[in-house]
Structure 1
Amino acid sequence: MARVQNKVAIVTGGASGIGLATAYALAKEGAKVVIGDFNQEGAVLAAKEIEGFGGQAIATFLDASSKESIKGLVEKTVETFGRIDILFNNVGLTDLKKDLDVVNLDLDEWDRLMNVNVKSMVIGCKYAIPYMVKAGGGSIINTTSMAGFAGDAVRTAYGASKAAVVNLTKYIAVQYGKQKIRCNAVAPGLILTPAARNNLPESILDLFMKYNSLPYHGEPEDIANTVLFLASDESKFITGQTLQVEGGHYIANPSVPDLSTIMG
């Protein structure tokens, strides 16, 4: 139970959902965790809960649209723990009211999503990588999405931003691999975060279940366990990859569920 013992990990968007589950998983396996989130109160609560089960964590406010805020998160991590070994770039935004099809989408929303969903990861890496080099290497994990691999009727900016993260991950892996820095991404499908449970009607959940290869939905812990693997030395020969954690939703011929019904 010490897969990332004494490693120092930054988790952005760590106050809830996937980020929170990952912060817990890393701490339980021995990492010292820095939780950055716009919801500072939630980040503080998460850090206290980690300390409650014997882990080490601190919380800080993070505005992922601000270069100075991201830089400050990195610097606070080094000031507190002396190094950075793991960077989990997990902040991401979407807005179904503004991020529509290409003709109707709000172009300001396009800029906002590119800034937060992609540029924030560039900035986080820009400031964290030099400290990782000093520490002798590290692991960067970026949260992308299955929206980066498939077209949709809406969420044009979100999908494009997540596709950019997939290729950004490869560039970072190539550029810093010789310095023992690995960079991978995780692409969740539908994950039952609190936000998903509270906002998605049962009809939508049933529709996703119909097309899943597995007979259940994903949980935040499924992504957390994937990130933990990529953060640990168990994945030391894996870099530049995107692991698709999506229950087999996207792997089949889309007609399979309907054909199965017709054929009995």
Structure 2
Amino acid sequence: MYKALSLEGKVAIITGGAGGIGQATIELMVGRGARVAIADIALDRAQAVAAKYGDSALAIEMDLTDEDSIKRMVVRVVEHFGRIDILHNNATAVGQHLVAADNAIGEMSTDTWDTFFDTNCRGTMIVTREALPHLIASGAGAIVNTVSGMALQGNIRFHAYSATKAAMIQMTRAVATAYGRKGVRCNAVAPGLVLTETVAKDFPPAMLKLVLDETPRDRVGAPHDIAEVVAFLASDAARNITGQTLVADGGVSIHIPGFSAYREFFGE
């Protein structure tokens, strides 16, 4: 392994670590030498993940809508591991009821809008704020925010989710600018569709075909594809990269409108 990609001796917090991208990132980071705190609202699932990695992982219950639980999580990480070098803000508002309620602005309930912003923006801000003194003390702190390709494009639905992820992109730039001279880098990764176990089970086949038809690659993303980007951005190999949003969507966002129709027209 290229030496700069090593995370040996680093301590990372991964919020939403019990989910698909979180689990893949934990596996990769531990494999590269890091110790990892798995912060998740589903403590039983986080504990099941942590059990795979022995002393290298610690499960902590955390609710992004509960400021006190965030503060307790950060204190617990420092008590247990002694430091924080990496923060992966990966947790997000989830649930079929929220996805179903995330309509266009004209049909959006205030409660749905507030739920997404309370979790994705307010919660992420608090985690970042509480971790920052320790990331500064590290001397080479790295923050990686999981955003979304939908933050960069318009859609007929999912207006609350996409707005929060766009706000997180600006938060990424702001933190990178304010704390770069204090030794902290902050970047974001913007996945497209990622086939986690939940998505693979619940995603409508017709919609999956739509995504595949618009993807220049011959596959949609898997959790480990995103984990590789996160681990890179957290490592010294990315030491001169900060304030950036790295799009990891298989090329969905790069092409002209009508891409799938052009492919059909030219027989490709």
Dislocated runs of 4+, deviation >3 Å? none
Structure 1 CA distance for aligned equivalents of residues 128 and 62 of structure 2: 15
- The reply to whether residue 254 of structure 1 matches residue 252 of structure 2 is no
Contact kept, 8 Å, 1:96 with 1:154, in 2: the verdict is no
> Residues 6-155 of structure 1: matches in 2 within 5 Å?
6-51=9-54, 56-94=56-94, 95-155=98-158
TM-superposed CA distance for 1:204, in Å, is 1.6
Q: Which stretch shifts more, 218-227 or 98-107?
A: 98-107
Residue 216 of structure 1 corresponds to 219
Shift of 1:97: 2.1
User: Could you state the TM-score of these two structures normalised by the residue count of structure 1?
Assistant: 0.96
In the aligned structure 1, how far is the partner of 2:133 from the partner of 2:202? 40
| 214-223 or 97-106: bigger deviation | 97-106
Gaps of 5+ in 1: none
- Counterpart of 1:19, as a letter, is G
Match of 1:249, SS state, is coil
**In structure 2, what is the Cα distance between the partners aligned to 1:133 and 1:166?**
21
Identity of aligned residues (%): 38
Secondary structure of the residue that 2:241 maps to in structure 1? coil
**Structure 2 CA distance for aligned equivalents of residues 117 and 42 of structure 1:** 21
Q: Which deviations, in whole Å up to 9, do the C-alpha atoms of 1:208-243 show, x marking residues without a partner? A: 110001011110000000000011100000000000
Deviation digits for residues 35-89 of structure 1 (CA, Å, limit 9, x no counterpart): 01111111001111122xxx60110111111111111111111000111000000
How far does residue 260 in structure 1 lie from its aligned partner after superposition? 2.5
2:21 aligned counterpart, secondary structure: helix
Distance 1:10 1:259 in 2: 44
Q: Which runs of 5+ in 2 are unaligned?
A: none
What amino acid maps onto 1:127 in structure 2? E
Distance 2:232 2:263 in 1: 35
Q: How many residues end up aligned between the 2 structures?
A: 261
Give the TM-score normalised by structure 2. 0.95
> Could you tell me how far 1:161 is from its partner in structure 2?
0.4
* 1:254–1:134 distance in 2 versus 1, CA, 3 Å: same
**Amino acid in the other structure paired with 1:173:** A
Secondary structure of the residue that 1:139 maps to in structure 2?
strand
Q: Is the CA contact (8 Å cut-off) linking 1:211 and 1:254 kept in structure 2?
A: no
Q: What does the per-residue CA deviation read over 1:9-49, in whole Å, with 9 as the maximum and x for residues that have no partner?
A: 00000012101110111111000100011111110011111
Aligned to 2:13, the other structure's residue is in SS state strand
Contact (CA 8 Å) 1:22, 1:221: kept in 2 or not?
yes
SS at 1:103 equivalent = helix
CA distance in structure 2 between the partners assigned to 1:183 and 1:234 by the alignment: 14
Q: What's the offset of the Cα at 1:134?
A: 1.7
**Deviation digits for residues 140-188 of structure 1, max 9, x if unmatched?**
0001001100111111111100000011000000000001100000001
